Chains A and B, each alone.
Chain A
Amino acid sequence: MTASTTEKQGQGTRCKVQGVSAGPELSCALHLEPCSSILLNTTAEDHHIARMAAVALGLTVLESAIPSPLPGVKPGLANIVTLIVLARYGWRAAAWVSLLRVMAGSLLFGNFLTPGFFLSLSGAALSLAVLALVRHLPGRWFGPVSHSIYAAFAHITGQLLVVYLWLIPHAGIAYLIPIFATAALVFGTVNGLIAARFMDNKSLLIHENHERHEKFTA
C-alpha cells in the first residue's frame, strides 16, 4: 500500500471561499491561501481489499443480530470472505481483510481496545497463522472446507488462550472447551462449504462471461 502526500499549489486548487462578505483585506487573504490536499495513492488491490473488508464487516454486523447461547459461540460468517480472498488473492490480502475487519468492526461496535477486541484479534491472528501453513496443503486433496476447519480451531484456541491467560485464569473454563470445539467444527465446515460453493459459482460465472465475450468478439 503506497501513500504519498502531495501538496498542490496550482492555480486551480486555490481555496474558493464563497458567500463570505468580509473586508477586502480578509477576502484577499482567504483567496491567496493555498489549499494543501493529502492524496493517498491507492492501487486497484487496495480498493479490492477495502471492498472485501467491507463485505466481511457487513457479515459481522449481520451476525451480531443472531442470538447466541454462549458468548463466543458464533458462526463467524465473515471468515467466508477471508477464505475466498485467501484462495483467490493470497495470504497477504486475506490477512489485510481479516485484520481490517477486526479493527473496523471494533470501532463500529465501540469495543476497540476492550477485552472483546483482543479476543477477536487473537482469534483472527492465530487463524491467519494457521491458514498460512495449511494453504500449502495439496489443493487436489484439501479444499476450503479443510482450511476453514483448521482456521476455526485456531480461532477458538487463540480466544481461549487470551481468556485463560488474561481474563479468567481458572481451570474451570476447561469445561467449556468441548462446546467451543464442537461449534468450531460445525461452523468451520459450514463456512468452508459456503466459501467453496461461492467460489465455484463465481468461477462458473466468470467462465460464462468469458465464453460470451469470445462469442461476441468472434
Chain B
Amino acid sequence: MYSTALQHIKPGDWLTLLCGGIFVAMLTLSLWSGDRADKAVIRSGGKIFSVVPLSRDQQIEVRGPLGVSIISIRQREARIASDPSPRQYCVRQGWLKQAGEIALCLPNQVSVELTGSKKRYDSLNY
C-alpha cells in the first residue's frame, strides 16, 4: 500500500515536498516565536510609572485611584499579583512572558507591558 503510494512521487515531487516542509517550518519559527521580553513598562494613569528590567526578581507597588496594585517579576516573567479592580481581569491574565504581552487593570488605571529589543505592533490602522 505504502510502496504503491510512494511510486507516484517523482524526484521533483520530493524536492517540492522538502521545499514546502522547510517553508512551513520557517514560517512557523518566524511567526510563532515571539521575542524574549527584556523590560516591563508599568503605567499608571496613562503615564509611565517605571520601566524595570526583567532580570531581577522584585515586587512593585503602584498606587491608583482604587488602591494599590502589586506587580511581581520573577524568572523573566511578570504578572499583576493583586489589584483592587472588581473583576480581576488583569490578575487572572497570569504571567506575561513574551514581548508585546500586556495586562491592563482599567479600573485602577494600571498596566504592565513587556517590551523586547524591537517594538512590535499591537494594532494597525488604515
Contacts and interface: CB of A to CB of B under 8 A. Distances in A.
**Is B a genuine binding partner of A?**
yes
Interface of A: 137-138, 140-146, 149-150, 153, 169-171, 174-175, 177-178, 181-182, 185, 188-189, 192-193, 196-197, 200
A196 B16 CA distance: 15
B16 A150 contact: yes
Interface size class of B (residues with CB under 8 A): 20 to 34
Contacts of B121: 171
B11 interface: yes
B20 A196 contact: no
Closest 5 CB pairs between A and B? A141-B12, A196-B8, A142-B12, A178-B28, A145-B13
Classify the interface of chain A: helix, strand, loop or mixed. Answer: helix
A148 to B, nearest CB: 9
Contact of A146 (B13, B23, B126): B13
A170 B122 CA distance: 9
Contacts, number: 73
B24 interface: yes
B8 A143 contact: yes
Contacts of A142: 10, 12-13, 16
Nearest to A200: B8
